Chains A and B, each alone.
Chain A
Amino acid sequence: MSLRVVFITGANGGLGQAIARAFLAESPDNFVWLAVHSRRDRADELARSAPDRCRCLSLDVVSREAWQQAVAEMLGVHARLDVLVNNAGIHEDALLGTMPAGSWDRVLATNLDSVFHGCQAVLPTMISQRSGRIVNLSSLSALLAPAGQTNYAAAKAGVLALTQSLAKEVARIGITVNAICPGYIETDALAQMGEPERKAIQARVPMRRLGRPAEVAAAVRFLACPEAGYITGSMLKIDGGIL
């Protein structure tokens, strides 16, 4: 296998870290760019552990200009991009009746606008190559639309629609676009929960356990692999059987 260049946003978080490690483990020919913003301690540590195959860069995913600069920096090194994983995301849960407008704006921008900017920034490169894999992290919330997550659920449902629409646009150019819908995964957000709350969540999952970040990462890696070339516009839920 020849060099495959992978670009992951939200690379300092639990999922981003697991996805990066999955690509690093997949092949010694994979080079992984870790895009980070406010926190980068874990991403820096991972990059130090594999300095020849992994590099951090700063990226504010809601900024079109920042995306253009980040992609230019990456292309300056590798002149190609094979995989984009739009993983960056935030929660600001509240009932809509009392939700500050800023919470709506930030959650939509970080979870949905970022995917638009990211896809637009990398498309010229992937079109020139006539190949590419885009994997967007949506959420089970896009399908369940839980109370208290109007902003997050709407953003993640938007990610699904964007994924399916873009997949049709670029299918004949050799670019696939797919989405992952994780359910309850052992990430930083869930780690902060108390034991009673955690047990209540586990009781809702038919498998009676939370998902592991590595299990989500394995699905991302599969959708990005060359063998998944006929899969596009699809949504893969990883939820232990909730839906």
Chain B
Amino acid sequence: MNSIATLTQDIKQMMVENLMLQSSASEIGDDQALFGPGSLGLDSVDALQLVVALDKKYGLKIPDPDTARQVLQSVKTMTDSVAAHLNPPSL
């Protein structure tokens, strides 16, 4: 399993534990929307918990609502943001 796949699984597990989801990590799609119709069904309180959890677990700061909307679209967008934060592209 490569590091992105591991990170994706870790983030899904973090979501299940922090949000007390009824579904398991394996049932969450990488590209599945987190909010809105046809989504995982998260709400703004879940978003707040994810912002805190991403900061605590990975040190990823989400400073404003606009950034939160971008980062918290799906597991994939969260994974990409965390990966970019942990391994910033070299100039």
Question: In the complex, A170→B43 CA distance in Å?
Answer: 12
Sort chain B's interface into a size bin: under 10
B51 and chain A: residue at smallest CB distance: A124
8 Å CB contact of B52 from A124, A169, A172: A124
Sort chain A's interface into a size bin: under 10
Main secondary structure of the interface of B (DSSP, over half): helix
Main secondary structure of the interface of A (DSSP, over half): helix
Q: Are A128 and B52 in contact (CB under 8 A)?
A: yes
Q: B45 within 8 Å of A by Cβ?
A: yes
Cβ contacts B44-58/A at 8 Å (1 or 0 each): 010011001101100
Q: Are A172 and B45 in contact (CB under 8 A)?
A: yes
A172 and chain B: residue at smallest CB distance: B45
CB distance from B54 to the nearest CB of A (A): 11
Q: Are B45 and A124 in contact (CB under 8 A)?
A: no
Q: Which residues of B contact A170 (CB under 8 A)?
A: 45
Q: A173 within 8 Å of B by Cβ?
A: yes
Q: Which residues of A contact B49 (CB under 8 A)?
A: 127, 173
Cβ contacts B8-52/A at 8 Å (1 or 0 each): 000000000000100000000000000000000000010011001
Q: Which residues of B contact A124 (CB under 8 A)?
A: 52, 55-56
Question: In the complex, A124→B48 CA distance in Å?
Answer: 9
Q: Give me 4 other A-B pairs in contact (C-beta within 8 A), A128-B56, A170-B45 excluded.
A: A124-B55, A124-B56, A128-B53, A172-B20
Give B contacts to A, CB under 8 Å.
Answer: 20, 45, 48-49, 52-53, 55-56
